[in-house]
Structure 1
Amino acid sequence: MTKTLQLTYRFICIVLGTVFLAAGIIKGLDLSRFAVQIGQYGIFPGDIRLLTGVAWLMVDVEMLLGAALLVNWHPRTCLRITAGLLALFIGALAWAMFQGNISDCGCFGPAARRGPVQALFEDGLMLAAALAAWQLRTASTHIRHPAKGWAVATAGILSMILPLTTGVMDSDLKVVDRPESIQLQSLDGQPIAFSGENFLLVLMSTECGHCREVVPLLNDITAEMGERIPVYAVAANPKPDIDRFVEENCTFYPVLAVEEKSLIALMGDEPLPQYLFIHNGQVADRWFAMPPEVQALIDLSGIGQHS
């Protein structure tokens, strides 16, 4: 019986450790997107540097914890942290769902998309497993060995280095005020040039609940202003996700694909959605959360009173 309990305990720890280590590695390989996903939870201020720091810290914690669970290093402490972290994840997901902020939890970065309901269920199972392992820990023999500490330390070093290999530098986070310098592509892969035009540029994500809610308002602007002040939206999402967003929400305006670093640069220190009025190639004004009034666009464009 004791042998069975020992094997069950180690199996749970290995599974949990593998999940945390894999999640940390995947997030670390695409830290910019993970930072954007954290911002969509609405828990932290929208400063992209703060969000990047939080994302980096999460990568460190998950990789350290994953390695510790795999080698059974200080299991009493690690299982406590595991249970606490999973409870924190569940609370954050529940809050974001209540606020309507997310449709993708970001738990495994862009490599594996999970809806918040699925993520809540899976995190609940993992929390139950962590609590079970806590109860079973006394049935397992904890052997201290220096190699375990070195393994955890190695994971910690890798967690610090990994995001640097993907080019997460301060220069990537500058606010860009000339969108014509950003390479934007339409849904069919053709480049779009905005130079010299007056238009409203919407920064959004297909994973953002608020971005869906404002579609009717943007459709109204598009219908009223037509070609005089066209509306374009940009998102750093895969083409199938953009196609699905357009179809499900019946957008009257094009939603264009943009490189993720370009979107983050345009975002500055605020979360999505954002609305940039571009006049003669320059950002004339910027709004957050809700689209601007039509009259504000008319005044900025100088096209005269709209009848």
Structure 2
Amino acid sequence: MENPMHLQVDQRTTDWRLIIARILETLIGVILLLAGLLKAWAPMDFNQQISDYKIITHPALVTVIAWVMIVVECALGTALIVGYKRRIAVPAAIVLVLLFLAAVGWAWVTGATEDCGCFGSWVKRTPAEAFLEDAGMLIAIVCAWLLSRHEPLRFARWRLGAVLASILIGISVTALASNSARQSADPIVRLQAQSSGKRQFAGVAVSGIDFDLQRGKYLVMLMDTGCTHCQQSVPEVNRLIASSNAGFRIVALCSNSDKEIDWFKGKFKAEFPIGRISYDDFMRLFERGKTPRLMLIQEASVIKIWDGVVPAANEVRY
């Protein structure tokens, strides 16, 4: 006959293992659910992030993957939080995080994209940072699986209801957001949705240049001094200045320091003026564009946008 004291100790050990496992699962579940809802709120941004990995680029397939990922993250995150079907949800979460690691590892090795992470466009992470974060998530969820595989039997219907509700919410938010102006495929429409009026550059404070962007016609380049794409575009922009007689001026804007701007001008021989704007203004104007973003503006209103490319002089004229 077994010792009752021995059984009591085993039960306490099991309880503690289950408690720790559930805490870890809940933390990972919250991360996945929040990530899914944020992506649902900005589905076009998530589409762009998937395309940036350059693994899958067909627009229709990217859209399908984005919707599926939103549903999976919402459902799996909720399942981990409420403890529904642990023997399925926890291994599924392990597989999902492994997929994240594979994609981020690809981006890290190939340099396909400079921004990664669970939270889409809401939180910027380098591939290295995202890889370490995903590795931490993998360790946590694997530990939860090893600590306890106990399957809760009570309130199964309520747990299932919570999972189904999260799926419905994720799909509904994605559908609504996809049809909003701020998620339009047209960058000018998106900028107008984020601005109080049609003059997107109205009220933007610029230092370091003598031009008044509120008046006249300009080709504005949004750039970062540390961006390799921006650095490589300098010769093209210089040539555009030399060949341009369309009656507009070329100005670059960034949120870098004066020291970083001086370094950029000296090293890459930029022949165009570079002004400084606030980080908030920079991110609002850049939104989900590609560097460098060039914008033709007149009287502070954006007329045309080119993302990741320098237009020819005849393209700028209108």
TM-score by length of 1: 0.68
Mapped to 2, the partners of 1:22 and 1:257 lie a distance apart of 26
Mapped to 2, the partners of 1:108 and 1:89 lie a distance apart of 12
Determine which of 9, 28, 38 is the counterpart of 2:21. Answer: 9
Q: Is 1:24 the counterpart of 2:32 in the alignment?
A: no
Determine which of 143, 146, 152 is the counterpart of 1:135. Answer: 146
- 1:72 CA displacement: 1.1
Amino acid at match of 2:115: D
Determine which of 20, 36, 51 is the counterpart of 1:39. Answer: 51
2:294–2:310: 8 Å Cα contact kept in structure 1? no
Mapped to 2, the partners of 1:68 and 1:114 lie a distance apart of 26
- 3-state SS in 2 of match to 1:188: coil
Determine which of 207, 213, 216 is the counterpart of 2:231. Answer: 216
Equivalent residue pairs, number: 273
Mapped to 1, the partners of 2:40 and 2:223 lie a distance apart of 20
- 1:124 CA displacement: 0.7
Mapped to 2, the partners of 1:177 and 1:14 lie a distance apart of 40
Determine which of 52, 60, 66 is the counterpart of 1:55. Answer: 66
Mapped to 2, the partners of 1:14 and 1:258 lie a distance apart of 33
* Structure 1, 66-75 or 162-171: larger mean CA deviation: 162-171
Amino acid at match of 1:16: I
Cα 1:151–1:116 shift into 2, 3 Å: same
1:31–1:168: 8 Å Cα contact kept in structure 2? no
Mapped to 1, the partners of 2:123 and 2:182 lie a distance apart of 28
* Structure 1, 211-220 or 33-42: larger mean CA deviation: 211-220
Determine which of 185, 191, 194 is the counterpart of 2:201. Answer: 185
Mapped to 2, the partners of 1:83 and 1:168 lie a distance apart of 33
Cα 1:273–1:50 shift into 2, 3 Å: farther
Give the number of the structure with larger relative contact order, counting CA–CA contacts within 8 Å between residues 6 or more apart: 1
Mapped to 2, the partners of 1:194 and 1:57 lie a distance apart of 46
- 3-state SS in 1 of match to 2:227: helix
- Structure 1 segment 70-89 matched on structure 2, within 5 A: 70-89=81-100
- 1:63 CA displacement: 0.8
2:47–2:63: 8 Å Cα contact kept in structure 1? yes
Cα 1:258–1:120 shift into 2, 3 Å: closer
1:39–1:45: 8 Å Cα contact kept in structure 2? yes
* Structure 1, 244-253 or 159-168: larger mean CA deviation: 244-253
- Structure 1 segment 1-307 matched on structure 2, within 5 A: 1-45=13-57, 47=59, 50-138=61-149, 140-144=150-154, 145-166=156-177, 168=179, 173-174=184-185, 184-185=200-201, 188=205, 212-226=227-241, 228-229=243-244, 242-244=254-256, 247=260, 250=264, 252=270, 257=282, 272=290, 297=312
CA RMSD in angstroms comes to 4.3
TM-score by length of 2: 0.66
- 3-state SS in 2 of match to 1:84: helix
Percent identical pairs in the alignment equals 21
Amino acid at match of 1:221: E
Mapped to 1, the partners of 2:116 and 2:257 lie a distance apart of 17
